[in-house]
């Protein structure tokens, strides 16, 4: 018997190590969504999912998820905990939902949020309104067969995407899912539903 760890190969499937930024927000939902997504695609062996609270934990990750939460709070805690530069120089892929999308953008309509500028997009916060305007909808997502049931909670919208940014989904008022390089950013919360295809799409990106 061999003991597999890290990125060693187990037949043709590669294990991945994914961290979920655990400063504030729906961290446990992302951890369980990733764990189910890895299980569903037979990637459990050699894979690991951890909660990331310190910059040092970023070093051996293949991917990092920035969860939903309050973007003003998470932005403040990223700086306070000395994680701003380490996340910018992180060389894996980043999977960002809702507040995470706000943080990955180049520019946001709120000067108090220091964005990471890792995807070349502009984002408007709370673009659909307040909580009573939060909604669920079926979305067409590029590369997915069949609609994705998306959960939008006080969600942001992309108001500008640079030419190199791949637009994955739109809704009337704007772009709600994008990818650039190995990063993905979504206005909605796939971690709250049971459709794991967005998490799987991200894991596939990490393996390329």
Partner 1 sequence: MKLEELRFGTELLKRGFASMQKGGVIMDVVNADQAVIAEESGAVAVMALERVPADIRKAGGVARMADPGIILEIIDAVSIPVMGKVRIGHFVEAQVLESLGVDMIDESEVLTPADEQFHIDKKQFTVPFVCGARDLGEALRRIHEGAAMVRTKGEAGTGNVVEAVRHMRNIMGEIRGLQGRNDQEIIDRARDLEAPPDILLETVRMGRLPVVNFSAGGIATPSDAALMMQLGADGVFVGSGIFLSAEPERMARAIVEAVNHFEEPSVIASVSKGLGEAMKGLDVHTLREDEVLQYRGR
Stretch that binds partner 1, among 12-20, 88-96, 121-129, 195-203 (CB under 8 A): 121-129
Annotation marks residue 189 as catalytic: yes
User: By CB under 8 A, is residue 207 in contact with partner 1?
Assistant: no
Catalytic residue among 29, 30, 98, 199: 98
Instruction: Point out which span in 12-20, 41-49, 74-82, 199-207 binds partner 1 (CB under 8 A).
Output: 74-82
- Using an 8 Å Cβ cutoff, are 18 and 61 in contact? yes
Instruction: For the beta carbon of residue 208, count every other beta carbon within 10 angstroms.
Output: 6
Tell whether residue 76 is a contact of partner 1 (CB under 8 A).
yes
Task: Identify whether 10 is a catalytic site residue.
Answer: no
Neighbours of 166 (CB within 10 A): 14
44 is catalytic: no
Note whether 142 binds partner 1 by CB under 8 A.
Answer: no
* Site map 31..60 versus partner 1, x via CB under 8 A: ------------------------------
Residue numbers of the site for partner 1 (CB under 8 A)?
22-29, 68-70, 72-73, 76-77, 80-81, 98-99, 110, 112, 125-126, 129-139, 151, 153-154, 171-172, 189, 192-193
Residues designated catalytic: 98, 189, 191
């Amino acid at each position: 018997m061999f003991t597999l760890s890290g990125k060693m190969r187990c037949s043709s499937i590669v294990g991945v190590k994914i961290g979920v930024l655990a400063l504030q927000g729906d961290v446990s939902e992302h951890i369980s969504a990733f764990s189910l997504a890895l299980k569903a695609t037979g990637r459990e062996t050699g894979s690991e999912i951890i909660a990331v609270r310190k910059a040092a934990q970023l070093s051996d990750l293949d991917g990092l998820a920035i969860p939903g939460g309050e973007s003003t709070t998470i932005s403040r805690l990223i700086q306070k905990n000395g994680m701003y530069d380490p996340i910018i120089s992180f060389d894996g892929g980043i999977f960002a939902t809702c507040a995470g999308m706000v943080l990955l953008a180049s520019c946001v309509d709120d000067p108090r949020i220091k964005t990471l500028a890792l995807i070349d997009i502009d984002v408007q916060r709370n673009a659909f309104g307040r909580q009573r305007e939060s909604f669920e909808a079926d979305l067409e997502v590029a590369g997915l067969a069949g609609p994705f049931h998306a959960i939008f909670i006080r969600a942001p919208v992309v108001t500008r995407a640079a030419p190199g940014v791949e637009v994955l989904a739109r809704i009337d008022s704007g772009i709600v899912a994008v990818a650039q390089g190995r990063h993905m950013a979504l206005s909605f919360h796939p971690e709250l539903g049971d459709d794991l295809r967005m998490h799987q799409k991200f894991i596939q990106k990490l393996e390329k």
